[in-house]
Amino acid sequence: MATSHALLLFCNLAFGLLALSVVVESSVVPPDYAEVDHVCSRTAPYYDKFCKDVLESDPRAPGADALTLAYVAFGLAHRNASGTRDQITSLLSNSTGLVRQHLERCRGYYATALANIQEALNDMDSKTYGRLTYFSASLLDRAKDCESAFKGTKSPLTDNNEDLKGFSVIGVSIAEELIV
């Protein structure tokens, strides 16, 4: 009798936990990435996955409006370009000849990219969005310039340049949202 009472208690407890887990699971609301999806759909077919990965990596992205996503994107672009600039500085310490010249050119291109990103952030702070497309597109140009600097030589910055191109495309997509 004690065994059947314990078995009945166990079954009731197990059923109760199962029911509770179903109720808790069904009440969890997935994050709202509607604006991320909208922005990133305009970066397809080349940068849509990059766009989603980048924007959704920031905790401000769920439920964000276009301006918040602009801050996310330009902030991450700044961090990315700063990291590349630091990488270039490190590579320069061990480089000579043509590779050194190419890296020095890239350091200048990334300095320009960082200045443009800062200008974009300043414009957003002052709620003037008219130049965001220009600043975003300039990132693509600087990435291409850096890659071209290595013409005929394997660039150690190809992945970084591709990322900067991706941030450029994201920035243009978001700028179109804010300018409308």
* pLDDT at site 152: 85
What is the dihedral angle through the alpha carbons of 110, 49, 134, 75, rounded to the nearest 10 degrees?
-60
d(CA 87, CA 121) in angstroms, rounded, equals 23
Predicted confidence (pLDDT) at residue 91 exceeds the cutoff of 80? yes
More confident residue, 85 or 28: 85
pLDDT tens for 106-119 read 999 999 999 999 99
* pLDDT at site 6: 53
Are 3 and 40 found together in one domain?
Answer: no
Are 25 and 111 found together in one domain?
Answer: no
Are 74 and 120 in contact by the 8 Å Cβ rule? The answer is yes
Closest C-alpha among 44, 39, 110 to residue 77: 110
Predicted confidence (pLDDT) at residue 3 exceeds the cutoff of 50? yes
Predicted confidence (pLDDT) at residue 150 exceeds the cutoff of 60? yes
Q: Count up the domains in the chain and report the number.
A: 2
Are 152 and 124 found together in one domain?
Answer: yes
Predicted confidence (pLDDT) at residue 14 exceeds the cutoff of 50? no
Mean local confidence (pLDDT), 27-47: 87
Q: What is the CATH number of the domain that holds 52?
A: 1.20.140.40
Predicted confidence (pLDDT) at residue 173 exceeds the cutoff of 60? yes
Predicted confidence (pLDDT) at residue 19 exceeds the cutoff of 90? no
The mean pLDDT value of the chain amounts to 88
Q: Which two tokens stand for residue 55?
A: 């924007």
Are 25 and 97 found together in one domain?
Answer: no
pLDDT band at residue 31 under the 50/70/90 scheme? confident
Closest C-alpha among 29, 17, 46, 22 to residue 140: 46
Predicted confidence (pLDDT) at residue 5 exceeds the cutoff of 90? no
Are 24 and 35 found together in one domain?
Answer: no
% of the chain with per-residue pLDDT over 70:
84
What is the extent of the structural domain holding 98? Answer: 31-179
Predicted confidence (pLDDT) at residue 53 exceeds the cutoff of 80? yes
* pLDDT at site 18: 42
